[in-house]
Amino acid sequence: MNYIITYRLLGIAMMLLAVGELRAQNSVTAASEQVNRKMVKLFGIGGFKGLPSYGTGLLVSAKGHILTVNNHILNTPGIVVHLYDGRRYQAKVLVREPELDVALLKIDEDVDFLPHFVFDKTAEKAMAETGDWVLAFSNQFKIAQGDEPMSVQRGAILTVADLKGRRGIFDAPYSGDVYFLDNIVCNPGAAGGAITTRKGELLGIIGRELKDNRIDTWINYAVPIQFKIEVQREDKKTGKSIMEKESVITFVHKALMGNYQETVKIRREDKGGYHGIILVVNAVSSTPPYVEEIVSGSPAAIAGLRPDDLILYVEGFSVPTIKIWRETLKQYEPGREISMQLQRGNKLENVKLKLANPPKTVN
């Protein structure tokens, strides 16, 4: 008798679980249909070897304004936009923001009443957290054309951390916090796609295909729409450079109003502070960062570094080669104190090194 009751309870539990999964699936399906109507497929004329001539964008106004990444297809004439219902239009670039790696486009013809994501105060909610479930929408691999729906992937946020990426010899334009994702979303054509909650609420913009500088591995990430970074622009009154904070939300809001001032691109290679460490000759591509000598009176000398030290980690990230060491140090500006772990003989040593402005006598 007890066995019969147990089996019945088990059967009821399985039925309830199945109903719950069906409801969750229906919820995701409804959100997918809703989000798909707010997205567009972008097509350029090509001409860039090894790079796709197609991409993804988000409608951010009823009149056909489109948010996407500031990538190569925007540098070609004749950008074609495919809406969710199959309508096709030409589009032009209105404004770009290199530091956020985004751009705003506008459909050339008069359109109205298009479904779109709203970028106002309601979008400035708290960022998603590690472990949150998300949906990823994009035109990866040119799967969708005309009225075909975008691809949809379910996944979760692995962590929220700063981006240090590279494509070929070029550093990633954006270097703020991103959502690192457990699903493979950064595929050809996916850049400019959307990361949303299971309800279809916009969380972030899918980035370009990049490798992490620190581990030389392809990464999957999205830029949070509300995360603010410092951008440099010229003061119209004084002509001097000033630093201001912008996010994807503020960019879209100002750009739609027609008063967004494009920023001055900060040269990433100029951000690195002075340390006074002279490494051994970089004879091969995998030469480890052994210290050859330390400049007298430099930050490294004050920190206690010595010749023959082998630098292992910077801020917890492995620096196995001189190349990776140099790329890593570019990320830290003068005045920043960095933690380093090094090998000295048979012992591991932890040091704190405060970077400085380069002395005028140092080239």
CATH number of the domain at 121, please. 2.40.10.120
The reply to whether 181 and 281 lie within a common domain is no
Averaged pLDDT for residues 112-131: 85
Q: What is the pTM of this model?
A: 0.69
Place of tokens 């100002």: 254
The reply to whether 61 and 115 lie within a common domain is yes
pLDDT digit string, tens, across residues 238-256: 777 778 889 999 999 999 9
Answer with the one of 191, 224, 257 that is the final residue of a domain.
Answer: 224
Is residue 147 domain-resident? yes
The reply to whether 53 and 143 lie within a common domain is yes
pLDDT digit string, tens, across residues 321-358: 888 888 888 888 888 899 999 999 888 999 999 999 87
The reply to whether 94 and 178 lie within a common domain is yes
Domain residues for the domain of 216 are: 39-224
Answer with the one of 168, 194, 224 that is the final residue of a domain.
Answer: 224
Is residue 164 domain-resident? yes
The reply to whether 129 and 46 lie within a common domain is yes
- Structural domains of the chain, count: 2
CA distance 73 to 45: 8
| Residue 29: Cβ-neighbour burial (10 angstroms; 0-12, 13-18, 19+) | exposed
pLDDT digit string, tens, across residues 60-115: 999 999 999 998 888 777 899 999 999 999 999 999 998 899 999 999 999 989 99
CA distance 162 to 167: 16
CATH number of the domain at 344, please. 2.30.42.10
Is residue 80 domain-resident? yes
Answer with the one of 188, 206, 224 that is the final residue of a domain.
Answer: 224
The reply to whether 144 and 199 lie within a common domain is yes
Averaged pLDDT for residues 292-297: 90
The reply to whether 116 and 219 lie within a common domain is yes
The reply to whether 45 and 159 lie within a common domain is yes
